[in-house]
Chains A and B, each alone.
Chain A
Amino acid sequence: MPYRVMKESLNPVIDSLADGILVTDKKGKIMLYNQKAEALLGIKGKAALDQPVQDHIKNEVLAGLINKILILDVPYHTEEICLMDIRDVRLRVHVNPVRDSNGLLIGSVTLLHDVAQISAIDKIKSNFLTMVSHQLKSPLSSTLLQASILLNGLAGELNDKQRDLLQKIKDKIKGMTELVVDILDVCRIEEGSYIEQIEPLNLDKVLQRAIELMQPQAHDKNITLSVAVEDNLPLISANRSGIEAMFINLISNAIKYTPLDGQVGIDLRRNGQYIQMKVSDTGMGIEEKDIPHIFDKFYRERSERTKHISGTGLGLSIVKGIVEAHHGSISVESEVGKGTTFTILIPVR
């Protein structure tokens, strides 16, 4: 196709794109958009041409992002936001600056990618994962109990070799059970079910139950669990199983990464408009390079000092997901060889 012809057919070409495209000048005035962008953003005809972007894009985040790119004027900049809700469609948005041949900023170009289909597929996958995990729970519970019975000698005495092998089987089943529990928690977070059943919650009571469940694990390593709870804590609106999973994950982590005879402390108090929960341990600590990643799914520190510790690598991502579902925040302080403290703030109202 000769260049001239191609240039003339540019409009039909961009109108044929599967993604939306939106171009502004450097002042943020809309210069060009295709039919897909019209449909996605709800712009009517050519009415928006030469108008400021914020007047026609009814999504503050997107308009703000375009203006930010224009104002920042850095040599190269691209920004992507995932799953933005505009007019009931979920978009992945890419905003880039446009420069002339001298590198001067002359405007911005935005790509709008409809990800509704991807979200729908995601949902099917997540439902499938939930179903499989639920199906695994019963056989895992049964086999674990059967292994325990054999180990306890309730079906006859075992020799040392049999006992050793059986113990390994039991540990592996236990690991699988933990993985299933964690996967179900991740699914609950992704489905948003931790914000569905909200009830007024006495955190102290939920904590006591979590401690009760964790006590055997602490006892095995001769770790002292000390609990300090401020009197008359206000109730918070929260999801019971979410908060319980949050406590169990944090306490179980603290026990796992703390050597024998160590200490794990849990402190619950009011801090302004928040309930503050601190879980601290005298454990091995987290290396600085790992701190930015500890809340990522399946991230685990892989080193000589942690290789004997079992886990799914999902615990902290679950904790963070639950805390965020309750509009709270989580932070961590750690010193290698000394210990780690996680601090969670959850708003009272």
Chain B
Amino acid sequence: MEKKKILLVEDDVDFAEATKLILESKSYEVAVAHDGQDGLKKAQAEQPNLIILDVMMPEMDGYEVCAKLKADPSYKHIPILLLTAVGEAIPTTKYTKEMGMRTEADDYIPKPVEPMELVERVENLFRISKGEKT
């Protein structure tokens, strides 16, 4: 069976490296982008099966990347897991109002992250997206 590919968009190099290690231990192929702009480029270049997006990034943050991907017909089917910052709730209105787009990610996981919980969420998203296709 072909390996599933996950795109991880995370500006913190250490956090990205650690997350990559967790996902690779579960036999996922992982591509990493270190900012929002790079994330959008790699979404096109890598054609991932799932995207994990950090919310707190300089320049273009995770919500904006999410909104852009979800507004694009070629990417909107890709499940997105948002990594929210430590101690921050999910704002639901900011981008929906300012940009007239929906920022609904498919799931959210707050930092600090437990490795097994991350894996569970990822597997769950793959299960759901598989169910939708059939």
Is B40 on the interface with A (CB-CB < 8 A)? no
Q: Pick from B45-53, B74-82, B83-91 the stretch touching chain A.
A: B83-91
Q: Which residues of B contact A184 (CB under 8 A)?
A: 87
Residues A148 and B87 in contact, CB atoms below 8 Å apart = no
CB pair A177–B21 under 8 Å, yes or no, is no
- Residue with the greatest number of chain A CB neighbours at <10 A, chosen from B89, B90, B111: B89
Q: Tell whether B60 is near chain A: CB-to-CB under 8 Å.
A: no
Across the interface, do A145 and B87 meet the contact criterion of CB distance under 8 Å? no
Q: Does A180 count as interface, using CB distance less than 8 angstroms?
A: yes
Nearest Cβ distance between residue A102 and chain B, in whole angstroms?
61
| A92 contacts across to B, CB distance below 8 A | none
Tell me the interface secondary structure of chain B in the complex. loop
Contact B87–A149 (Cβ < 8 Å): no
Whether B89 lies near A245 (C-beta < 8 A) is: yes
- Which residues of A sit under 8 angstroms from B114, Cβ to Cβ? 148
A138 CA / B85 CA spacing, docked (Å): 9
Residues of chain B within 8 A (CB-CB) of A185 are 87
B19's partner among A145, A152, A174 (CB-CB below 8 A) is A145
The yes or no answer to A5 lying at the interface (CB within 8 A) is no
Q: Which residues of A contact B12 (CB under 8 A)?
A: 138, 141-142
Would you call the interface of chain A mostly helix, strand, loop, or mixed? helix
Residue in A146, A155, A177, A245 whose CB lies within 8 Å of B86: A177
Q: Verify B87–A141 contact, CB threshold 8 A.
A: no
Q: Across the interface, name the chain B residue whose C-beta is closest to A177.
A: B112
Q: Are A145 and B25 in contact (CB under 8 A)?
A: no
Q: Does B116 contact A (CB under 8 A)?
A: yes
| Known contacts A149-B21, A154-B22, A174-B112; is-contact A140 B86 (Cβ 8 Å) | yes
Determine how close the nearest CB of chain B comes to the CB of A87; give it in whole angstroms: 37
B102: shortest Cβ distance to chain A, in Å?
Answer: 16
Partner of A181, one of B18, B21, B87: B87
Query: Is A94's beta carbon under 8 Å from chain B?
Result: no
Contact, CB under 8 Å: A241 / B115 = no
Pick from B15, B88, B89, B93: contact of A145, CB under 8 Å? B15
Q: Is A336 an interface residue (CB 8 A)?
A: no
Beta-carbon contact of A149 and B112 below 8 Å: no
Q: Counting CB contacts under 8 A, is B37 at the interface?
A: no
Q: How far is the CB of B61 from chain A (nearest CB, A)?
A: 14
Report yes or no: A141 in contact with B92, Cβ–Cβ below 8 A: no
**A38 is an interface residue with CB less than 8 A from chain B:** no
Q: Whole-angstrom distance from the CB of A50 to the nearest CB of chain B? A: 58
A148 to B86, CA, bound (A): 16
In the assembly, what is the distance between CA of A137 and CA of B87, in Å? 9
Q: Do A180 and B87 touch (CB < 8 A)?
A: yes
Cα–Cα distance between A199 and B93 once the two chains are bound (Å):
9
B92 adjacent to A240 (CB under 8 Å):
yes
In the complex, chain A residues whose CB is within 8 Å of the CB of B19: 145
Tell me, in angstroms, the Cα distance from A142 to B89 when the chains sit together.
19
- Which among A139, A141, A154 is the interface contact of B113 at CB below 8 angstroms? A141
B89 contacts across to A, CB distance below 8 A: 240-241, 244-245
- Check A213–B92 contact: CB distance below 8 A: no
Indicate if A144 sits at the interface (CB-CB under 8 A): yes
B91 to chain A, nearest CB (A): 7
A141 close to B112 (CB less than 8 A): yes
Q: Report the nearest B residue to A210, measured CB to CB.
A: B89
Given A145-B115, A180-B87, A155-B21 contact (CB < 8 Å): yes
Encode contact with A along B1-32: 1 for CB under 8 Å, 0 otherwise.
00000000000101100110110010000000
Q: Which residues of B have CB within 8 Å of A177?
A: 86, 112
Q: Given A138-B12, A141-B15, A154 and B115 touching (CB < 8 A)?
A: yes
Within A232-253, the residues touching B (CB, 8 Å) are 240-241, 244-245
Q: List 26 A-B contacts (CB under 8 A).
A: A137-B87, A137-B111, A141-B15, A141-B86, A141-B111, A141-B113, A142-B14, A143-B14, A145-B15, A145-B19, A145-B112, A146-B18, A148-B114, A149-B21, A152-B115, A154-B25, A155-B21, A174-B112, A177-B112, A180-B87, A184-B87, A197-B91, A199-B93, A240-B89, A240-B90, A240-B92
